[in-house]
A and B are shown apart, each in its own frame.
Chain A
Amino acid sequence: MDFIGAYAPSHLTFLLEGFWLTLQVAFLAIVFSFAIAIVVGVLRYANIPGVSQALATVVELIRNLPLLLIIFFTYFALPEVGIKLDKFYAAVLALVIFEAAMLSEIVRSGLKSVEKGQIEAARSSGLTYVQTLWHIILPQALRRMVPPIVSQFISLLKDTSLAVVIALPELMNHAQIINGRNVNYVIPTFLLVAVMYFVVNYALSIVSKRLENKHA
Protein backbone atom coordinates (compact mmCIF):
# COMPACT_ATOMS: atom_id res chain seq x y z
CA MET A 1 0.00 0.00 0.00
CA ASP A 2 1.49 3.24 -1.10
CA PHE A 3 0.07 6.06 1.01
CA ILE A 4 2.74 8.59 0.07
CA GLY A 5 2.30 8.13 -3.63
CA ALA A 6 -1.46 8.06 -3.38
CA TYR A 7 -1.59 11.30 -1.40
CA ALA A 8 0.60 13.32 -3.76
CA PRO A 9 -0.58 16.96 -3.80
CA SER A 10 -1.75 16.70 -7.41
CA HIS A 11 -3.87 13.69 -6.49
CA LEU A 12 -5.39 15.49 -3.53
CA THR A 13 -6.30 18.46 -5.70
CA PHE A 14 -7.75 16.10 -8.27
CA LEU A 15 -9.92 14.46 -5.62
CA LEU A 16 -11.09 17.82 -4.33
CA GLU A 17 -12.09 18.82 -7.86
CA GLY A 18 -14.17 15.68 -8.07
CA PHE A 19 -15.65 16.39 -4.67
CA TRP A 20 -16.60 19.89 -5.72
CA LEU A 21 -18.60 18.47 -8.62
CA THR A 22 -20.20 15.98 -6.24
CA LEU A 23 -21.29 18.84 -4.02
CA GLN A 24 -22.66 20.84 -6.95
CA VAL A 25 -24.74 17.91 -8.19
CA ALA A 26 -25.97 17.15 -4.68
CA PHE A 27 -26.88 20.74 -3.94
CA LEU A 28 -28.92 21.20 -7.10
CA ALA A 29 -30.63 17.86 -6.61
CA ILE A 30 -31.47 18.61 -2.98
CA VAL A 31 -33.04 21.97 -3.73
CA PHE A 32 -35.16 20.84 -6.66
CA SER A 33 -36.17 17.48 -5.26
CA PHE A 34 -37.20 19.12 -2.00
CA ALA A 35 -39.34 21.69 -3.77
CA ILE A 36 -41.01 19.05 -5.92
CA ALA A 37 -41.46 16.74 -2.94
CA ILE A 38 -43.37 19.37 -1.00
CA VAL A 39 -45.69 19.99 -3.93
CA VAL A 40 -46.26 16.29 -4.55
CA GLY A 41 -46.62 15.51 -0.85
CA VAL A 42 -49.19 18.24 -0.36
CA LEU A 43 -51.12 17.25 -3.47
CA ARG A 44 -51.31 13.66 -2.29
CA TYR A 45 -52.28 14.68 1.24
CA ALA A 46 -55.03 16.92 -0.09
CA ASN A 47 -56.68 13.92 -1.71
CA ILE A 48 -57.60 15.68 -4.91
CA PRO A 49 -59.53 13.12 -6.98
CA GLY A 50 -57.55 11.84 -9.93
CA VAL A 51 -54.44 13.89 -9.28
CA SER A 52 -53.56 12.33 -5.95
CA GLN A 53 -54.05 8.84 -7.30
CA ALA A 54 -51.97 9.45 -10.40
CA LEU A 55 -49.16 10.94 -8.32
CA ALA A 56 -49.36 8.02 -5.92
CA THR A 57 -48.82 5.56 -8.74
CA VAL A 58 -45.91 7.50 -10.22
CA VAL A 59 -44.27 7.87 -6.81
CA GLU A 60 -44.69 4.17 -6.01
CA LEU A 61 -43.09 3.17 -9.31
CA ILE A 62 -40.10 5.45 -8.91
CA ARG A 63 -39.52 4.62 -5.25
CA ASN A 64 -39.30 0.95 -6.06
CA LEU A 65 -36.67 1.22 -8.77
CA PRO A 66 -32.89 1.29 -8.28
CA LEU A 67 -31.40 4.76 -8.61
CA LEU A 68 -28.70 3.28 -10.83
CA LEU A 69 -31.38 2.28 -13.30
CA ILE A 70 -32.92 5.75 -13.26
CA ILE A 71 -29.50 7.29 -13.95
CA PHE A 72 -29.07 4.97 -16.94
CA PHE A 73 -32.49 6.00 -18.13
CA THR A 74 -31.97 9.72 -18.02
CA TYR A 75 -28.59 9.46 -19.72
CA PHE A 76 -28.87 6.60 -22.21
CA ALA A 77 -32.55 5.97 -22.76
CA LEU A 78 -34.09 9.44 -22.88
CA PRO A 79 -32.07 10.39 -25.97
CA GLU A 80 -33.82 7.56 -27.78
CA VAL A 81 -37.10 9.40 -27.28
CA GLY A 82 -35.67 12.78 -28.06
CA ILE A 83 -34.59 14.22 -24.72
CA LYS A 84 -30.83 14.72 -24.80
CA LEU A 85 -29.01 15.59 -21.61
CA ASP A 86 -25.34 15.70 -20.85
CA LYS A 87 -23.88 13.78 -17.90
CA PHE A 88 -24.19 16.54 -15.33
CA TYR A 89 -27.86 17.25 -15.99
CA ALA A 90 -28.71 13.60 -16.52
CA ALA A 91 -27.28 12.83 -13.09
CA VAL A 92 -29.07 15.77 -11.48
CA LEU A 93 -32.38 14.86 -13.15
CA ALA A 94 -32.10 11.22 -12.09
CA LEU A 95 -31.36 12.25 -8.52
CA VAL A 96 -34.18 14.79 -8.49
CA ILE A 97 -36.70 12.25 -9.77
CA PHE A 98 -35.66 9.57 -7.32
CA GLU A 99 -35.18 11.75 -4.25
CA ALA A 100 -38.36 13.75 -4.90
CA ALA A 101 -40.30 10.48 -4.87
CA MET A 102 -38.65 9.41 -1.62
CA LEU A 103 -38.99 12.82 0.02
CA SER A 104 -42.63 13.19 -1.00
CA GLU A 105 -43.44 10.15 1.10
CA ILE A 106 -41.70 11.71 4.08
CA VAL A 107 -43.59 14.96 3.51
CA ARG A 108 -46.87 13.11 3.21
CA SER A 109 -46.42 11.15 6.43
CA GLY A 110 -45.30 14.32 8.15
CA LEU A 111 -48.47 16.07 7.04
CA LYS A 112 -50.58 13.13 8.16
CA SER A 113 -48.96 13.22 11.58
CA VAL A 114 -50.33 16.64 12.43
CA GLU A 115 -53.19 16.10 14.88
CA LYS A 116 -56.66 16.41 13.46
CA GLY A 117 -57.56 18.65 16.34
CA GLN A 118 -55.32 21.35 14.96
CA ILE A 119 -56.96 21.20 11.56
CA GLU A 120 -60.46 21.32 13.03
CA ALA A 121 -59.54 24.24 15.28
CA ALA A 122 -58.09 26.12 12.35
CA ARG A 123 -61.05 25.49 10.06
CA SER A 124 -63.55 26.48 12.72
CA SER A 125 -61.67 29.74 13.26
CA GLY A 126 -62.52 30.56 9.67
CA LEU A 127 -59.29 29.67 7.87
CA THR A 128 -59.70 28.17 4.40
CA TYR A 129 -58.26 24.78 3.56
CA VAL A 130 -55.27 26.33 1.82
CA GLN A 131 -54.60 28.77 4.64
CA THR A 132 -54.77 25.95 7.14
CA LEU A 133 -52.32 23.99 5.09
CA TRP A 134 -49.90 26.85 4.62
CA HIS A 135 -49.89 28.33 8.11
CA ILE A 136 -50.70 25.45 10.42
CA ILE A 137 -50.10 22.01 8.96
CA LEU A 138 -47.08 22.42 6.73
CA PRO A 139 -44.86 24.25 9.25
CA GLN A 140 -45.49 21.67 11.95
CA ALA A 141 -45.06 18.81 9.55
CA LEU A 142 -41.79 20.19 8.25
CA ARG A 143 -40.40 20.59 11.73
CA ARG A 144 -41.13 16.97 12.57
CA MET A 145 -39.65 15.76 9.34
CA VAL A 146 -36.26 17.35 9.79
CA PRO A 147 -34.42 14.12 10.75
CA PRO A 148 -35.80 11.94 7.95
CA ILE A 149 -35.34 14.76 5.44
CA VAL A 150 -31.72 15.38 6.38
CA SER A 151 -31.23 11.65 6.34
CA GLN A 152 -32.50 11.61 2.77
CA PHE A 153 -30.15 14.47 1.86
CA ILE A 154 -27.26 12.43 3.22
CA SER A 155 -28.41 9.55 1.04
CA LEU A 156 -28.50 11.90 -1.91
CA LEU A 157 -24.94 13.01 -1.38
CA LYS A 158 -23.78 9.41 -1.24
CA ASP A 159 -25.87 8.47 -4.25
CA THR A 160 -24.05 10.98 -6.45
CA SER A 161 -21.30 8.36 -6.43
CA LEU A 162 -23.47 6.16 -8.64
CA ALA A 163 -22.99 8.62 -11.48
CA VAL A 164 -19.52 7.08 -11.82
CA VAL A 165 -21.14 4.64 -14.24
CA ILE A 166 -21.84 7.40 -16.74
CA ALA A 167 -18.32 8.71 -16.24
CA LEU A 168 -19.45 11.91 -14.53
CA PRO A 169 -16.18 13.38 -13.24
CA GLU A 170 -17.24 13.37 -9.60
CA LEU A 171 -15.31 12.09 -6.59
CA MET A 172 -15.55 8.32 -7.20
CA ASN A 173 -14.64 8.78 -10.84
CA HIS A 174 -11.53 10.76 -9.96
CA ALA A 175 -10.62 8.22 -7.30
CA GLN A 176 -10.76 5.45 -9.89
CA ILE A 177 -8.55 7.40 -12.28
CA ILE A 178 -5.94 7.65 -9.52
CA ASN A 179 -6.35 3.99 -8.65
CA GLY A 180 -5.82 3.05 -12.28
CA ARG A 181 -2.28 4.41 -12.16
CA ASN A 182 -1.07 2.08 -9.46
CA VAL A 183 -2.88 -0.72 -7.69
CA ASN A 184 -1.13 0.25 -4.46
CA TYR A 185 -3.05 3.50 -4.43
CA VAL A 186 -6.40 1.75 -4.13
CA ILE A 187 -6.79 1.40 -0.39
CA PRO A 188 -5.24 4.76 0.58
CA THR A 189 -7.32 6.62 -1.99
CA PHE A 190 -10.56 4.89 -1.09
CA LEU A 191 -9.93 5.52 2.59
CA LEU A 192 -9.42 9.21 1.94
CA VAL A 193 -12.55 9.34 -0.21
CA ALA A 194 -14.52 7.58 2.54
CA VAL A 195 -13.35 10.18 5.03
CA MET A 196 -14.42 12.99 2.71
CA TYR A 197 -17.94 11.64 2.37
CA PHE A 198 -18.05 10.86 6.07
CA VAL A 199 -17.05 14.35 7.18
CA VAL A 200 -19.74 16.09 5.14
CA ASN A 201 -22.47 13.61 5.96
CA TYR A 202 -21.66 13.45 9.65
CA ALA A 203 -21.74 17.24 9.80
CA LEU A 204 -25.17 17.15 8.12
CA SER A 205 -26.45 14.66 10.69
CA ILE A 206 -25.23 16.86 13.52
CA VAL A 207 -27.01 19.85 12.00
CA SER A 208 -30.10 17.67 11.84
CA LYS A 209 -29.87 16.79 15.54
CA ARG A 210 -29.42 20.45 16.43
CA LEU A 211 -32.45 21.49 14.38
CA GLU A 212 -34.45 18.70 15.93
CA ASN A 213 -33.61 19.77 19.46
CA LYS A 214 -34.22 23.41 18.77
CA HIS A 215 -37.78 22.83 17.69
CA ALA A 216 -38.66 20.00 20.03
Chain B
Amino acid sequence: MKTKNVWKKIAGMGLVLMLSATALAGCGGAKSEGGTASTGAGAAAGTGTLAKIKERDKFVVGVKYDLNLFGLKDPASGNVEGFDIDIAKAIAKKVLGDENKIELKEVTSKTRIPMLKNGEIDAIIATMTITEDRKKEVDFSDVYFLAGQSLLVKKDSPINGLKDLQKGMKVLTAKGSTSAKNIRASAPDVEVLEFENYAEAFTALKAGQGDALTTDNALLYGMAKQDPNYRVTEETFTEEPYGIAINKGDAEFVKAVNDLLKEMKENGEYDKIYEKWIGEKPKK
Protein backbone atom coordinates (compact mmCIF):
# COMPACT_ATOMS: atom_id res chain seq x y z
CA MET B 1 0.00 0.00 0.00
CA LYS B 2 1.16 3.50 -0.79
CA THR B 3 0.91 4.69 2.79
CA LYS B 4 3.11 1.85 4.00
CA ASN B 5 5.95 2.87 1.67
CA VAL B 6 5.67 6.52 2.59
CA TRP B 7 5.71 5.62 6.25
CA LYS B 8 8.72 3.38 5.80
CA LYS B 9 10.49 6.25 4.07
CA ILE B 10 9.68 8.64 6.89
CA ALA B 11 10.81 6.13 9.50
CA GLY B 12 14.01 5.50 7.59
CA MET B 13 14.74 9.20 7.28
CA GLY B 14 13.99 9.59 10.96
CA LEU B 15 16.50 6.89 11.86
CA VAL B 16 19.19 8.47 9.70
CA LEU B 17 18.43 11.86 11.23
CA MET B 18 18.64 10.44 14.74
CA LEU B 19 21.97 8.76 14.03
CA SER B 20 23.46 11.85 12.44
CA ALA B 21 22.10 13.95 15.25
CA THR B 22 23.87 11.88 17.85
CA ALA B 23 27.02 11.94 15.73
CA LEU B 24 26.79 15.70 15.42
CA ALA B 25 26.13 16.02 19.11
CA GLY B 26 29.34 14.14 19.67
CA CYS B 27 31.59 16.33 17.57
CA GLY B 28 29.47 19.45 17.87
CA GLY B 29 29.68 19.14 21.60
CA ALA B 30 33.43 18.80 21.63
CA LYS B 31 34.10 21.46 18.99
CA SER B 32 31.94 24.35 20.10
CA GLU B 33 33.29 26.41 22.95
CA GLY B 34 30.29 26.21 25.16
CA GLY B 35 29.72 22.62 24.26
CA THR B 36 31.91 20.43 26.43
CA ALA B 37 29.82 18.16 28.58
CA SER B 38 29.81 18.99 32.26
CA THR B 39 32.95 17.92 34.06
CA GLY B 40 31.45 18.95 37.32
CA ALA B 41 31.49 15.72 39.30
CA GLY B 42 31.96 16.71 42.92
CA ALA B 43 32.61 20.31 42.01
CA ALA B 44 29.93 21.42 44.42
CA ALA B 45 32.12 20.46 47.34
CA GLY B 46 35.07 22.07 45.60
CA THR B 47 37.53 19.56 46.88
CA GLY B 48 40.56 18.93 44.78
CA THR B 49 40.25 21.49 42.01
CA LEU B 50 44.02 21.39 41.79
CA ALA B 51 43.96 17.63 41.33
CA LYS B 52 41.25 17.95 38.71
CA ILE B 53 43.21 20.55 36.78
CA LYS B 54 46.31 18.38 36.83
CA GLU B 55 44.36 15.31 35.76
CA ARG B 56 42.70 17.16 32.93
CA ASP B 57 46.00 18.86 32.13
CA LYS B 58 44.08 22.04 31.46
CA PHE B 59 43.03 25.02 33.53
CA VAL B 60 39.47 26.03 32.67
CA VAL B 61 38.77 29.60 33.68
CA GLY B 62 35.85 31.96 33.28
CA VAL B 63 36.75 35.36 31.93
CA LYS B 64 34.94 38.29 30.41
CA TYR B 65 34.82 38.57 26.64
CA ASP B 66 33.50 42.09 26.39
CA LEU B 67 35.83 44.23 28.50
CA ASN B 68 38.73 45.99 26.87
CA LEU B 69 41.91 45.59 28.96
CA PHE B 70 40.61 42.80 31.16
CA GLY B 71 38.93 40.24 28.95
CA LEU B 72 38.10 41.05 25.36
CA LYS B 73 37.37 38.69 22.49
CA ASP B 74 38.68 39.89 19.18
CA PRO B 75 36.34 38.68 16.42
CA ALA B 76 39.13 39.02 13.89
CA SER B 77 41.71 36.76 15.55
CA GLY B 78 39.33 34.78 17.73
CA ASN B 79 41.63 35.38 20.70
CA VAL B 80 40.57 36.61 24.10
CA GLU B 81 43.05 39.00 25.67
CA GLY B 82 43.43 41.06 28.79
CA PHE B 83 44.77 41.44 32.29
CA ASP B 84 42.63 38.62 33.67
CA ILE B 85 43.76 36.29 30.91
CA ASP B 86 47.41 36.96 31.65
CA ILE B 87 46.83 36.16 35.33
CA ALA B 88 45.07 32.97 34.30
CA LYS B 89 47.97 32.02 32.07
CA ALA B 90 50.39 32.56 34.95
CA ILE B 91 48.36 30.14 37.06
CA ALA B 92 48.36 27.56 34.28
CA LYS B 93 52.11 27.92 34.03
CA LYS B 94 52.55 27.44 37.77
CA VAL B 95 50.24 24.45 38.08
CA LEU B 96 50.77 22.71 34.75
CA GLY B 97 54.06 24.15 33.60
CA ASP B 98 52.63 25.58 30.39
CA GLU B 99 50.73 28.84 30.16
CA ASN B 100 48.91 27.61 27.06
CA LYS B 101 47.26 24.69 28.85
CA ILE B 102 44.30 26.89 29.39
CA GLU B 103 40.68 26.93 28.25
CA LEU B 104 38.81 30.19 28.42
CA LYS B 105 35.05 30.37 28.78
CA GLU B 106 32.95 33.47 28.52
CA VAL B 107 31.25 34.61 31.70
CA THR B 108 29.11 37.60 32.50
CA SER B 109 28.49 39.13 35.91
CA LYS B 110 25.27 37.19 35.91
CA THR B 111 26.53 33.78 34.78
CA ARG B 112 29.90 33.52 36.53
CA ILE B 113 28.87 32.16 39.92
CA PRO B 114 26.45 29.56 38.49
CA MET B 115 29.15 28.40 36.08
CA LEU B 116 31.68 28.02 38.90
CA LYS B 117 29.21 26.19 41.11
CA ASN B 118 28.18 23.76 38.42
CA GLY B 119 31.74 22.84 37.65
CA GLU B 120 31.94 24.27 34.17
CA ILE B 121 34.98 26.35 35.21
CA ASP B 122 37.74 25.87 37.79
CA ALA B 123 37.94 29.52 38.76
CA ILE B 124 36.55 32.94 37.94
CA ILE B 125 39.03 35.60 36.89
CA ALA B 126 36.59 38.16 35.57
CA THR B 127 36.85 41.57 37.21
CA MET B 128 34.98 40.15 40.18
CA THR B 129 34.80 42.34 43.26
CA ILE B 130 35.21 40.66 46.64
CA THR B 131 32.14 41.33 48.77
CA GLU B 132 30.83 39.86 52.01
CA ASP B 133 27.70 38.63 50.27
CA ARG B 134 29.68 36.87 47.57
CA LYS B 135 31.98 35.31 50.17
CA LYS B 136 28.94 33.33 51.31
CA GLU B 137 28.74 31.74 47.88
CA VAL B 138 32.37 31.35 46.85
CA ASP B 139 35.89 31.62 48.23
CA PHE B 140 38.18 34.39 47.05
CA SER B 141 41.92 34.64 46.60
CA ASP B 142 43.81 37.67 47.78
CA VAL B 143 43.18 40.93 45.99
CA TYR B 144 44.82 40.96 42.59
CA PHE B 145 43.61 44.36 41.43
CA LEU B 146 42.18 47.38 43.14
CA ALA B 147 39.64 49.40 41.20
CA GLY B 148 37.00 51.90 42.16
CA GLN B 149 33.55 52.47 40.76
CA SER B 150 33.14 55.48 38.55
CA LEU B 151 31.09 56.84 35.66
CA LEU B 152 31.55 56.80 31.90
CA VAL B 153 29.96 59.75 30.16
CA LYS B 154 29.99 61.46 26.80
CA LYS B 155 32.96 63.78 26.36
CA ASP B 156 30.83 66.89 26.56
CA SER B 157 28.53 65.64 29.30
CA PRO B 158 27.89 67.95 32.28
CA ILE B 159 28.24 64.99 34.60
CA ASN B 160 31.53 64.93 36.49
CA GLY B 161 30.67 62.81 39.43
CA LEU B 162 27.92 61.32 41.58
CA LYS B 163 26.67 64.73 42.65
CA ASP B 164 25.81 65.64 39.07
CA LEU B 165 23.46 62.69 38.72
CA GLN B 166 19.95 64.01 38.98
CA LYS B 167 16.50 62.56 39.08
CA GLY B 168 15.33 61.51 35.66
CA MET B 169 18.79 60.56 34.47
CA LYS B 170 19.51 57.00 33.45
CA VAL B 171 22.61 55.08 34.45
CA LEU B 172 23.44 51.82 32.71
CA THR B 173 25.27 48.82 34.07
CA ALA B 174 25.35 45.01 33.98
CA LYS B 175 23.01 42.63 35.76
CA GLY B 176 24.42 41.02 38.84
CA SER B 177 27.34 43.42 39.28
CA THR B 178 28.33 45.22 42.46
CA SER B 179 28.16 48.38 40.34
CA ALA B 180 24.41 47.93 40.04
CA LYS B 181 23.94 47.58 43.78
CA ASN B 182 26.27 50.45 44.60
CA ILE B 183 24.82 52.96 42.19
CA ARG B 184 21.33 52.32 43.51
CA ALA B 185 22.62 52.98 47.01
CA SER B 186 24.74 55.99 46.11
CA ALA B 187 22.31 57.69 43.75
CA PRO B 188 18.80 56.57 44.67
CA ASP B 189 17.09 59.22 42.55
CA VAL B 190 18.54 57.98 39.34
CA GLU B 191 17.00 55.29 37.13
CA VAL B 192 19.30 52.30 36.82
CA LEU B 193 19.00 50.01 33.80
CA GLU B 194 20.78 46.67 33.89
CA PHE B 195 21.83 44.72 30.82
CA GLU B 196 23.09 41.22 30.13
CA ASN B 197 26.72 42.36 29.97
CA TYR B 198 28.84 45.50 29.65
CA ALA B 199 29.04 45.27 25.88
CA GLU B 200 25.27 45.55 25.67
CA ALA B 201 25.29 48.36 28.22
CA PHE B 202 27.95 50.26 26.28
CA THR B 203 26.11 49.77 22.99
CA ALA B 204 23.01 51.09 24.72
CA LEU B 205 24.96 54.07 26.06
CA LYS B 206 26.34 54.83 22.61
CA ALA B 207 22.83 54.61 21.24
CA GLY B 208 21.82 57.27 23.73
CA GLN B 209 19.79 55.01 25.97
CA GLY B 210 21.44 56.41 29.10
CA ASP B 211 23.32 59.38 30.49
CA ALA B 212 26.15 57.40 32.00
CA LEU B 213 27.51 53.90 32.37
CA THR B 214 28.81 52.81 35.71
CA THR B 215 31.25 50.11 36.68
CA ASP B 216 34.84 49.90 37.87
CA ASN B 217 37.09 52.64 36.54
CA ALA B 218 39.56 50.13 35.10
CA LEU B 219 36.84 48.78 32.85
CA LEU B 220 35.65 52.26 31.99
CA TYR B 221 39.14 53.27 30.92
CA GLY B 222 39.10 50.30 28.56
CA MET B 223 35.81 51.46 27.07
CA ALA B 224 36.98 55.07 26.75
CA LYS B 225 40.06 53.77 24.98
CA GLN B 226 37.83 52.01 22.45
CA ASP B 227 35.68 55.07 21.83
CA PRO B 228 37.28 58.48 22.45
CA ASN B 229 33.87 60.13 22.40
CA TYR B 230 33.55 59.02 26.01
CA ARG B 231 35.49 59.86 29.14
CA VAL B 232 35.73 58.54 32.69
CA THR B 233 34.85 60.78 35.61
CA GLU B 234 37.71 61.36 38.03
CA GLU B 235 36.27 60.51 41.42
CA THR B 236 35.72 56.91 42.43
CA PHE B 237 32.93 56.39 44.90
CA THR B 238 33.64 52.86 46.02
CA GLU B 239 36.57 50.53 46.38
CA GLU B 240 36.42 47.46 44.20
CA PRO B 241 39.03 44.87 45.14
CA TYR B 242 39.15 42.12 42.53
CA GLY B 243 39.66 38.53 43.61
CA ILE B 244 39.84 35.18 41.91
CA ALA B 245 36.75 33.17 42.83
CA ILE B 246 37.04 29.49 43.64
CA ASN B 247 34.48 26.96 44.79
CA LYS B 248 33.86 26.91 48.50
CA GLY B 249 35.82 24.54 50.65
CA ASP B 250 38.85 24.23 48.40
CA ALA B 251 41.48 25.73 50.69
CA GLU B 252 44.25 23.91 48.85
CA PHE B 253 43.58 25.66 45.57
CA VAL B 254 43.03 29.04 47.23
CA LYS B 255 46.39 28.74 48.95
CA ALA B 256 48.11 27.76 45.71
CA VAL B 257 46.66 30.78 43.95
CA ASN B 258 47.54 33.13 46.80
CA ASP B 259 51.09 31.82 46.88
CA LEU B 260 51.38 32.43 43.18
CA LEU B 261 50.00 35.97 43.42
CA LYS B 262 52.49 36.77 46.18
CA GLU B 263 55.30 35.32 44.09
CA MET B 264 54.30 37.34 41.07
CA LYS B 265 54.15 40.57 43.06
CA GLU B 266 57.57 39.93 44.50
CA ASN B 267 59.38 38.91 41.34
CA GLY B 268 58.04 41.72 39.18
CA GLU B 269 55.86 39.57 36.96
CA TYR B 270 52.73 41.21 38.35
CA ASP B 271 54.11 44.69 37.64
CA LYS B 272 54.86 43.67 34.10
CA ILE B 273 51.31 42.50 33.46
CA TYR B 274 49.92 45.59 35.17
CA GLU B 275 51.98 47.93 33.07
CA LYS B 276 51.14 46.03 29.91
CA TRP B 277 47.43 46.63 30.28
CA ILE B 278 47.02 49.68 32.49
CA GLY B 279 49.92 51.59 31.04
CA GLU B 280 51.52 52.58 34.33
CA LYS B 281 53.17 51.00 37.30
CA PRO B 282 50.85 49.76 40.05
CA LYS B 283 50.52 52.15 42.97
CA LYS B 284 51.99 50.54 46.10
Contact = CB atoms under 8 A, between A and B. Distances in A.
Q: Do A and B assemble together? A: yes
Interface of A: 8, 10-11, 14, 21, 24, 27-28, 31-32, 35, 75-76, 79, 84-89, 134-136, 138-140, 142-143, 164-169, 174, 176-183, 186, 215
21 contacts: A8-B76, A27-B21, A28-B21, A28-B24, A84-B38, A86-B120, A89-B35, A135-B3, A135-B7, A139-B10, A143-B6, A164-B196, A167-B197, A177-B65, A177-B73, A177-B199, A178-B75, A180-B202, A183-B203, A183-B206, A186-B207
Contact of B34 (A27, A88, A138, A186): A88
Interface stretch (B107-115, B161-169, B274-282): B107-115
B34 A181 contact: no
Given A140-B3, A176-B200, A180-B66, A31 B118 contact: no
A142 B203 contact: no
A88 B24 CA distance: 13
Contacts of A165: 196
Interface of B: 3-4, 6-7, 10, 14, 17-18, 21, 24-25, 28-29, 32-38, 40, 43, 65-66, 73, 75-78, 106-108, 111, 114, 117-120, 196-197, 199-200, 202-203, 206-207, 226-227
List 6 A-B pairs, minimum CB-CB distance, nearest first. A180-B199, A10-B76, A84-B118, A87-B34, A88-B35, A183-B206
A89 B37 contact: yes
Of B10, B17, B66, B75, chain A has the most CB atoms within 10 Å of the CB of: B75
A86 B76 contact: no
Given A79-B118, A169-B32, A85 B17 contact: no
B199 A86 contact: no
A21 B25 CA distance: 11
A52 B108 CA distance: 42
B38 A85 contact: yes
Nearest to A139: B7
Contacts of A8: 76
Given A79-B118, A86-B120, A166 B111 contact: yes
B21 A86 contact: no
Nearest to B2: A139
A76 B117 CA distance: 10
A140 B6 CA distance: 10
B243 to A, nearest CB: 22
A86 B38 contact: yes
Nearest to B198: A180
Contacts of A79: 114, 117-118
Contact of B28 (A28, A139, A167, A178): A28
A6 to B, nearest CB: 11
Contact of A84 (B29, B36, B40, B108): B40
Contact of A176 (B7, B28, B203): B203
Contacts of B206: 183
Contacts of A35: 14, 18
Nearest to A12: B75
B223 to A, nearest CB: 10
Nearest to B76: A10
A76 B73 CA distance: 24
A33 B21 CA distance: 12
Contact of B75 (A10, A85, A136): A10
A24 B24 CA distance: 8
A168 B105 CA distance: 10
Contact of A136 (B3, B10, B34, B40): B3
B75 A142 contact: no
Contacts of A139: 3, 6-7, 10
Contacts of A27: 21, 24
Of B40, B107, B197, chain A has the most CB atoms within 10 Å of the CB of: B197
B3 A167 contact: no
A143 B36 CA distance: 37
